[in-house]
Amino acid sequence: MTSTHEFEVGESIGVVSAALLRPPEARYLYVFGHGAGAGMHHEFLKTCASILADHGVATFRYQFPYMEAGRRLPNPAPVLVQTVRSAVATAESLVPDLPILAGGKSMGGRMTSTAAASGGLGSVRGLAFFGFPLHAAGRDSSERGEHLTTVGLPMLFLQGTRDKLANLTLLRPLLDRVTPRPSLHVVDGADHGFQVLKRSGRTRLEVLEESCSAFADWAGRSIEAGSRWPGRDGR
């Protein structure tokens, strides 16, 4: 079910790798960007892609140029945004028969929302974020999320209560100002990497199962009702 691909981000930037996982009964395609510290082959993305496939969601994972080149420092934001746009365009050409959603883990998600807020994002029908990075650890602020108010698409935020990069007391009022109102699914006890403490009685895999199930439920309602269905708060 998995096929490998390459696409050009720009003549001066180069070519990056991608992986398309399409289950037989796929209903949607999710263009899935990775976080700052790990690429598309990271266990987190591969596990989520597998679980989403079980829920009828195909995934198109891709590399950002710095990760493709084996570097640790992310590219400047304009290059990351251009990569998101190129990934979406490639996904549209590879899978023209499925509604497209986009987003990603941490940085990959924020760069996707930035692209959507600054001129649109092709035929993308909604955005979903696995741990949106609202601020740096210990520097609580909602400034990095202000662009969300201009996205204009249905959005899903999968956020852990122990996520040090997203203070929920700042994220909730920010999302209240967004139209259409986003969905917020709060994962009890999860940190930014969706890890939970042993005393929680749950495993990370169970947490990811919960998150991906919430994703599939949101995708079904979002696609069915367009851009005007009410958000669901996980409180």
Does residue 50 form part of some domain? yes
156 falls in which pLDDT band (50, 70, 90)?
Answer: very high
Distance CA 40, CA 63 (A): 6
Q: How many domains does the chain have?
A: 1
Closest CA to 33 of 145, 95, 121, 136: 121
Q: Is the torsion defined by CA of 72, 168, 105, 38 positive or negative?
A: positive
Q: Give residue-wise pLDDT tens across range 44-66.
A: 999 999 999 999 999 999 999 99
Q: Would you say residue 218 has pLDDT above 90?
A: yes
Half-sphere exposure of 118 (CA within 13 A, CB side): 15
Q: Say what the pLDDT of residue 120 is.
A: 86
pLDDT at 210: 97
> Could you tell me the residue range of the domain that residue 203 belongs to?
2-225
Q: What was the pLDDT predicted at 4?
A: 97
| Per-residue confidence band for 11, with pLDDT thresholds at 50, 70 and 90 | confident
Residues ≥6 apart with Cβ < 8 Å to 86 = 7, 8, 9, 10
* 95 belongs to a structural domain: yes
Number of residues in the chain: 235
pLDDT band at residue 233, thresholds of 50, 70 and 90?
Answer: very low
| Interacting residues of 37 by C-beta distance below 8 A, sequence separation 6+ | 72
User: At 84, phi and psi to the nearest 5?
Assistant: -60, -45
pTM over cut 0.85: yes
In a domain, 131, yes or no: yes
Q: Judge whether 235 lies within some domain.
A: no
The reply to whether 230 falls in a domain is no
- What was the pLDDT predicted at 173? 96
- Asked if residue 231 is part of any domain, the answer here is no
Task: Please give the Cα distance from 165 to 97 (Å, whole number).
Answer: 36
Q: What is the CATH number of the domain that holds 68?
A: 3.40.50.1820
Question: Mean of the per-residue pLDDT values for the chain?
Answer: 93
Residue 63 lies in a domain: yes
Let me know how many helices (H) and strands (E) the chain has, helices first: 6, 8
Q: Is residue 160 part of a domain?
A: yes
